[in-house]
């Protein structure tokens, strides 16, 4: 086993992971309520970028709160899936095969 080669590969993978995390700040995830009255945009890193609320929702606080919870949760879930898929792809392609390490990336 080439320990120096593995260490270099690990450092390269770490660099690529950091680059991927930075790139995820530019990947936008859009989500909206079923009727389109509420729209949100997140980055794939889970940062909220924008919210658009139809005037009709401003008249009913409880409905607006419900819309926010459902729509924000859907957007956060989508963002997390995109982020994880990208990081998994980097890890699987670039990580050296070390016995037992494959379980860490599942």
Rounded (to 5) percent helix, strand, coil in the chain = 60, 15, 25
Give the model's confidence band at 99: pLDDT under 50 very low, under 70 low, under 90 confident, else very high: low
Q: pLDDT value at position 101?
A: 54
Please name the residues in contact with 32: beta carbons below 8 A apart, sequence gap of 6 or more: 38, 39, 40, 71
Per residue in 45-81, pLDDT (tens digit) is 999 999 999 999 999 999 999 999 999 999 999 999 9
Domain residues for 56? 27-94
User: Order of strands across the sheet with 38-43?
Assistant: 28-32, 38-43, 48-53
Identify the CATH number of the domain in which residue 62 sits.
3.30.1310.10
Assess if residue 104 is contained within a domain.
Answer: no
Question: What is the distance between the alpha carbons of residues 7 and 78, in angstroms, rounded to a whole number?
Answer: 33
Assess if residue 105 is contained within a domain.
Answer: no
Question: What is the distance between the alpha carbons of residues 7 and 2, in angstroms, rounded to a whole number?
Answer: 9
Q: pLDDT value at position 21?
A: 86
Per residue in 3-53, pLDDT (tens digit) is 777 777 778 888 888 888 888 999 999 999 999 999 999 999 999 999 999
Total domains present in the chain: 1
């Amino acid at each position: 086993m080439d320990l120096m080669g593995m260490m270099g590969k690990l450092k390269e993978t770490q660099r690529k992971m950091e680059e991927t995390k930075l790139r995820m700040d530019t990947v936008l995830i859009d989500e909206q309520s079923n009727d389109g009255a509420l729209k949100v945009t997140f980055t794939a890193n889970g940062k909220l970028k924008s919210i658009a609320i139809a005037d009709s929702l401003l008249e009913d606080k409880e409905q607006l709160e419900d819309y926010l919870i459902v729509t924000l949760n859907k957007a956060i879930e989508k963002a997390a899936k995109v982020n994880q898929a990208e990081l998994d792809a980097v890890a699987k392609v670039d990580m050296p095969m070390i016995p037992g390490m494959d379980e860490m990336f599942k």
